Amino acid sequence: MSPTTDLSVFRLYTPEEAGSDDYPVEWHLSIKHAVREQAGYRCVRCHHPYRNGEHGKGEWSPCDAICTHWSELRAVSPNGLPVPIPEGCQAGAEVGQWFPWQVEAHWRILTVHHLDGNPLNCKWYNLVALCQRCHLRVQTKVRMERIWPWPHSEWFRFFAAGYYAHHYLGEDLTRAEVEARLPELLALELAV
């Protein structure tokens, strides 16, 4: 059974189902892996790629043309020496224009964040694949229960709509159902 096809694991768990680390056992077996897989093994916010186990402890990991972050970058020259990249230079295609070598980002290991902060809430719309840096930024700013009457960031709209369906309508919709009703669901917050 593929972790992405067993949707029964994406649910609210009880405290009795939590392990010693406060996460459900299923979290470690399949949930976090399925969320990463569904995100295409990329941070959904900055698009940095994730390559599990390829880069040692993960302090530095390769960027590619899709990355949109712009901090803590370096290029690695053909002789293996790191070359600092000026602050403000964006990863991805922009850095590739200036540095013909491999560009790497600092501490961009892919994590899975619970948007409401509850490790037992493993509903799909509460789980988002974020690199460490984006995780820390989102964790300090996003409060799902806070009314937000402005447009959401493109990457966040889908998760917000799933939450609004649950919060305002009492409906736990699938990803496909949320996608089909995205404008309607996002408008729920504006009607408050």
Burial of 178 (0-12, 13-18, 19+ CB in 10 A): buried
Given a cut of 60, whether residue 34 has pLDDT beyond it is yes
Q: How confident is the model at residue 181 (pLDDT cuts 50, 70, 90)?
A: very high
DSSP states of 122-171: --GGGEEEEEHHHHHHHHHH--TTS---SPPPTTTHHHHHHHHHHHHH--
Output the six-digit token pair for 31: 């949930």
Can you say whether the dihedral through the CA atoms of 22, 24, 27, 29 is positive or negative? Answer: positive
* Distance between CA atoms of residues 45 and 32, nearest Å: 17
Residue 30 has what pLDDT? 94
Quickly state the pLDDT bin for 155 (edges 50, 70, 90). very high
Query: What is the number of H-type helices and E-type strands within the chain?
Result: 7, 6
pLDDT given for residue 7 in this prediction: 67
- Tokens for 137? 């930024």
The confidence band for 57, taking pLDDT boundaries of 50, 70 and 90, is: low
Residues 49 and 66: beta-carbon distance below 8 Å? yes
Q: Does residue 1 carry a pLDDT above 50?
A: no
